[in-house]
Amino acid sequence: MPNWTGSWAGGRTYQTKDQRTVWVIRKMVKGHRYQIVLDSETERQALAQLALFDQDPSSYRTPSAQRDEARQQAQEDEEKSRQEAEARRLQDEADAVFVNAAFVGRFLEFIKDRTPKYRKDTRYYLSAWADAFQGRDLRKVEPREVLKLLSQWNTAEQKRIAALKAFCSYLIKKGFLDPAHDPSRTLTVPASRPEKAIREKGYAMATIEVLYRALEDQGSRDVLLLHAKLGLHESEVQRIAAREGKISLVPGHPIIAGTVKFVHKSGRVHTLSLDTQALAAAQRLQAHGAPTPDQVRHRLRVSCESRGLPRVLVGELRHSFVAWSLESGEAITLSGKGVPLALVASVLGHTSTVTTKKFYDVSKVPSMIKLPLTLEHPDDPRALQSAA
């Protein structure tokens, strides 16, 4: 207890060793005893503090206590802010999105139904983007920076943009990237010029007939035949070999021997009619598998060189199929009758055959285009040599 030396309106006073007077509020308020040492330097200041105390004794704090509490609160707020900032930093690191092996690997798995060449090209261009971004979080890359990075390359602008936009679109779809943070959002894939405007595409039937006879392995001949007779995509031939194309037989027709049906990721069903030779080729591929696209390209190149033929690419056989069909194709229907789908669409008032095909075409065996194309090889099974 202090050594009291006097009293005042609020209670008692005492002297410090250096003869400084200390005012102490000593009061009983509503059954509660208060003893508060004031930090006032004069009685006038003590009386002012007493007036504040009388207004609300339970919440009264001396100025020095208020400063201590404010300082303590500031320290607590600062520590809380630091912890929140650290939590945000850690979460931001966890949410970061990069063009790296992990994300690219997921994306390539997502597009596994695309052709091996498309996936290979996409991996190549994304690798180039990864080098350009140098490990930066894509959410923090501005579109103008992407344009600047793009300008460092002199080739394949369209493919580079397409690869990045497809990758970012995947990230958005899977919830890894907010559309507002898409670094490719202002990029536009340049319209590609039809390659026929750059160089002629497609081949003469005689070239393909000679090439077919020059190929030594049955698998490559079967792949070439399906491309030439049906105008298939490379991925569709691979899907047939992987048994993802369902083959059905059509008995009793002199030309149409079967069908092959593909179901695309969109749910759209694409069915093609096959003649005897194409049906047998498709069945062999399903039974024995198909050579890889790289193997087919190599064997075609070697055979073309050995016979002095122009380089044949299976991708361009689709263009040849269109040209051959328009120039000399013959429409074959299951009944021998029927009208083109375009005419049916016109009668129904559809501006496009897409609507007619999607909602009204219920034919299980579609029309087939027969080409005057003779593909024969001494090693083909005997039935095939008379079924062209």
Q: What is the pLDDT of residue 193?
A: 57
**Pick the residue with more confidence: 330 or 202?**
330
Whether 234 and 226 have beta carbons less than 8 Å apart is answered as no
Write out pLDDT tens, residues 1-14: 678 999 999 999 99
Q: Which of 173, 167, 206, 226 is nearest to 374 (CA)?
A: 206
- The ranges of the chain annotated as CATH 1.10.443 are 205-386
Q: How far apart are CA 241 and CA 235, in angstroms?
A: 10
pLDDT band at 263 (very low <50, low <70, confident <90, very high): confident
Structure tokens at 135: 């490990």
Whether the pLDDT of residue 35 is over 80: the answer is: yes
Q: What is the mean pLDDT of residues 217-236?
A: 92
Q: How far apart are CA 323 and CA 304, in angstroms?
A: 21
pLDDT band at 89 (very low <50, low <70, confident <90, very high): confident
Displacement of CA 95 from its chain's centroid (Å): 17
- The ranges of the chain annotated as CATH 1.10.150.130 are 101-189
Q: What is the pLDDT of residue 84?
A: 85
- Token pair 């990029």 is found at 187
The answer to which of 35-49, 278-292, 341-355 has the lowest mean pLDDT is 341-355
User: How much is the CA Rg of the chain, to the nearest whole Å?
Assistant: 41
Whether the pLDDT of residue 250 is over 70: the answer is: yes
**Pick the residue with more confidence: 315 or 46?**
46
Instruction: Work out the mean pLDDT of the chain and round it to a whole number.
Output: 88
End-to-end CA distance of the chain: 119
- Choose which CATH entry (1.10.443, 1.10.4100, 3.40.30, 1.20.120) describes domain 205-386: 1.10.443
CATH topology of domain 101-189: DNA polymerase; domain 1 (1.10.150)
Whether the pLDDT of residue 228 is over 60: the answer is: yes
Write out pLDDT tens, residues 355-387: 766 666 556 788 899 999 999 999 888 654 433
Q: What is the mean pLDDT of residues 265-274?
A: 80
Q: What is the pLDDT of residue 381?
A: 84
Whether 376 and 388 have beta carbons less than 8 Å apart is answered as yes
Write out pLDDT tens, residues 133-179: 999 999 999 999 999 999 999 889 999 999 999 999 999 999 999 99
Q: Which of 191, 183, 32 is nearest to 97 (CA)?
A: 183
Q: How far apart are CA 227 and CA 222, in angstroms?
A: 9
Whether the pLDDT of residue 72 is over 50: the answer is: yes
Whether the pLDDT of residue 294 is over 70: the answer is: yes
